[in-house]
Structure 1
Amino acid sequence: MADRSLVIGQLGQSLDGRVATLSGESKYISGACALDHLHRLRAAADAVIVGIGTVLADDPLLNVRRVPGRNPARVIIDPSGRLDHSARCLGDDGTRRIVLRRAGAVGTLPPGVEAMAVAADTEGRLPPASILAALRAAGLRRVLVEGGPATLASFLDARAIDRLHILVSPVILGSGRTGLDLRPIGGLKDALRPASRVTVFPDGDVLFDCDMRQAALEENGHGERTDHAVFAPG
């Protein structure tokens, strides 16, 4: 539909739900098959989104390298203009590079990098619905929300994720940053219980493909499922 985006969230974590050690080390919790899957998701998307925290911590490339396919547009959520010009995701390789900022945020960007102003909420954050509307206006409808945990949690809390791919690696960290920090719920009856398909990769990582759109419809008393086979595990 013209007013809808197709949004997938991706999270790679340990058995105990960690995405990084206390020092911030995260490369690589996921195994080779899970990384291949992530790159297939990128190749199927029009745009891949990360928050400024992920860029500052990991300096990701956000391109497609491990599988055949095209690079998606790289979108960085940077409300207050903290992005460094040397960030690798801003490198000019012919792919669109977009930085989302609050209206009135100052700071220049490298040549060829697009700046988009998005109206912030009362806490200065960029609402997922407004982000997706801005990307649709730019012709980007199939969106991969790749990180970090705060960005992914904001999209989940806003019920703006259609499918959530959680990749669990057989490693136990015991401490470190957790993968999700959603708004608190009052009880188990309020927990999201998405229908899921499980795929075990040859190297031991496990993919949970969660239908978040169906969970949101059931939460709101509806029951129509949307087909998102474009993002099915390959």
Structure 2
Amino acid sequence: MNQVVPDFGPPELPVTGEGETFVVAQLGQSLDGRIATVTGASKYINGRRALDHLHALRAQVDAVLVGVGTVEADDPQLTVRRCAGDSPVRVVLDPSGRAPCGARMFADGAAPVLAVVREGVAGPAGAETLELPCGPNGFAPADIVAALAARGLRRILVEGGAETLARFIDAGAVDMLHVLVAPMILGSGKPGFRLAPIETLDEAMRPRARVHLFDDGDVLFACDLRAARAASAA
């Protein structure tokens, strides 16, 4: 059964064994599953407690990962500012090397930046470059996780955008999914994420979730995808 937990405090990710990887993905959305309006406006759908939660997640991981589209649209810092803790390595998936050179993370010195590019592509100034094979649908999530783990970055937060998050879920590369739902109805705009289509409800993922109620109205669904995969494979 799902568990409802009121008065939720800072999130604690599971303890992992030596050499083990753990990938958590997070998504903030409206009550009707939108992450932005039709014009792309998204700040701020979720409230202050959701932001506190996101920064607490960053403080517990080795790397925070976004696609280049998120860098272009939001110019995020991806640092820990709303709680105690060190900022993780910031990872940008940028196969074609199109990240804007003026993005704040490449110049702020707040934490290392790693740009993942396809072979032969130059990364942005201010970032270390990691070359990986890239197919027509982008990098394979398993390759990304393995390459980061080889650098000692084993606890990874996939923070955005929606397409990057969907690719990781479809590939079975996400162990825990955090969905933050704001009591707001947009009625139109960009949906949270689109996964590979299914034909019957029997094919739907039904992860066990802990449901956390924030005092400013947002609700967090912390979904255990690793256990759901293990159950479906049994």
- Normalising by structure 2, we get a TM-score of 0.90
Residue 153 of structure 1: how far off its partner (Å): 0.2
Alignment of structure 1 residues 41-120 onto 2, 5 Å:
41-105=57-121, 107-111=122-126, 113-120=127-134
Q: Distance in 2 between matches of 1:56 and 1:49?
A: 14
SS at match of 2:85: coil
Q: What SS does structure 2 have at the residue aligned with 1:38? A: helix
Kindly indicate whether residue 46 of structure 2 is the aligned counterpart of residue 33 of structure 1. no
- Residue number among 165, 168, 171 corresponding to 2:178 in the alignment: 165
Which residue does the alignment assign to 1:136? Answer: 149
2:232: which partner in 1?
A: 219
Q: How far did 1:94 drift?
A: 4.7
Task: Give, in angstroms, the shift of residue 109 of structure 1.
Answer: 2.4
Question: What's the offset of the Cα at 1:68?
Answer: 1.2
Q: Is the 8 A contact 2:76 2:104 kept in 1?
A: yes
User: How many angstroms does 1:44 deviate by?
Assistant: 0.5
Q: Give per-residue Cα distances to partners, 1:104-135, cap 9 Å, x unaligned.
A: 22x35214x210001112x1510100001110
For the residues of structure 1 that align with 2:21 and 2:101, how far apart are their CA atoms?
A: 29
Q: Distance in 2 between matches of 1:61 and 1:144?
A: 14
Letter aligned with residue 13 of structure 1: Q
Are positions 1:17 and 2:33 aligned together?
Answer: yes
Q: Aligned-residue CA RMSD in angstroms? A: 1.2
CA distance in 1 between partners of 2:189 and 2:164 (Å): 18
2:221 equivalent in structure 1:
208
Conserved? CA contact 1:79–1:124, under 8 Å: no
TM-score (normalised: structure 1):
0.90
Secondary structure, in 3 states, of the residue corresponding to 1:101?
strand
Identity of aligned residues (%): 52
Query: Unaligned 5+ residue runs, structure 2?
Result: 1-16
